[in-house]
Amino acid sequence: MRKRLSAVKPNRRQILLTGAVAVAGTTGAIVAASHSDAADSGPYGSGVIANWLVLSKAISPETIIKTVIAKDGVFMFGDSIAVQDGKSLAIRLAGRTGDSLAVHNWSGRPTTQAVDALQDWATKYGMPRRILMATGTNDVFNPPVVTAQINRTMSIVGPNRTVVWVNTQMCRTARTAAMQIADQRNSAWINLQLADAQRRYPNLRIVHWAEYLAAKPTRLTAYLSDGVHTTVPYGQDARNELITQALAAAKLALPQAKSSK
């Protein structure tokens, strides 16, 4: 393990991001990782991804998708955190901005397949002017893929729509100390790729969930149940409020005339 971890060295910026997040003290479980720390820790120290296709999901029916398109609402693509928090977000968003939300959330899913779902909906239905990407947590098992998937997303969406992307905090408290360190480093690596992409794409906005948690160490235990998923209602409310604020700001910045699909 020591040799494998030393082969993936974060740069100074990754160290700053990772060092800001302490290991939370709660216990819990997370889907998508192998169930034994004695198993292969994978090339990046966080383990290997499990078969996420059998895990829980929440996908809006076509009637909701078409309503969101007609009303220029929001498409959401996420993982298990989004599966848990998506309904609460939809209620908050409707009450705050009047926006409708269509979701394609799937537990354990990496970003590559989330972008595949975005492409599928864009082809079948078109897109509203705001896309919410609440994905990235399950890329700790293979962090280098993220930049290419951000680029794919921005290519699909184009320059006249806004992508709001929630960054990543993962440190599974039920895992070994070495794996928790790898989770933190790999989360920082993912977030660094998002930050770099934001400089290339003016229509990409980041929800700084990781930085929000790191700002006060007590938030890690108050807002995360297992080092990853939000507690309900406190963590869920905090994360959804950050997302709602970002989507509301993106709406204000949109041109008044609705763009074509």
| 117 sits in which H/E element | helix 111-125
Share of the chain above pLDDT 70, in %: 83
Distances (CA, A) of 26 to 58, 96, 119, 173, 226: 27, 32, 37, 6, 6
Give the model's confidence band at 18: pLDDT under 50 very low, under 70 low, under 90 confident, else very high. Answer: very low
The DSSP secondary structure of 209-239, one letter per residue, reads HHHHHHHSTHHHHHHBSSSSSBPTTHHHHHH
pTM of structure: 0.86
Q: Which residues contact 91 (CB under 8 A, 6 or more apart)?
A: none
**Residue 8: pLDDT over 60:** no
For residues 26-45, give the mean pLDDT.
54
Give the model's confidence band at 78: pLDDT under 50 very low, under 70 low, under 90 confident, else very high. Answer: very high
2-253 CATH fold? Rossmann fold (3.40.50)
Q: Is the torsion defined by CA of 126, 131, 136, 138 positive or negative?
A: negative
Closest C-alpha among 205, 209, 187, 229 to residue 85: 229
The model's pLDDT over 140-187, given as tens digits with 9 standing for 90+, comes to 999 999 999 999 999 999 999 999 999 999 999 999 999 999 999 999
Give the model's confidence band at 12: pLDDT under 50 very low, under 70 low, under 90 confident, else very high. Answer: very low
Token duo for residue 7 = 């082969």
How far is C-alpha 152 from the geometric centre of its chain's CA atoms? Answer: 16
**Residue 257: pLDDT over 80:** no
* Domain ranges within the chain, ordered by starting residue: 2-253
**Mean pLDDT score of the chain, rounded to an integer?**
87
**Among 20-29, 134-143, 232-241, whose mean pLDDT is lowest?**
20-29
Token duo for residue 121 = 């909906």
CA distance 125 to 67: 11
Q: Which residues contact 49 (CB under 8 A, 6 or more apart)?
A: 32, 33, 108, 110, 138, 141, 142
For residues 7-29, give the mean pLDDT.
39
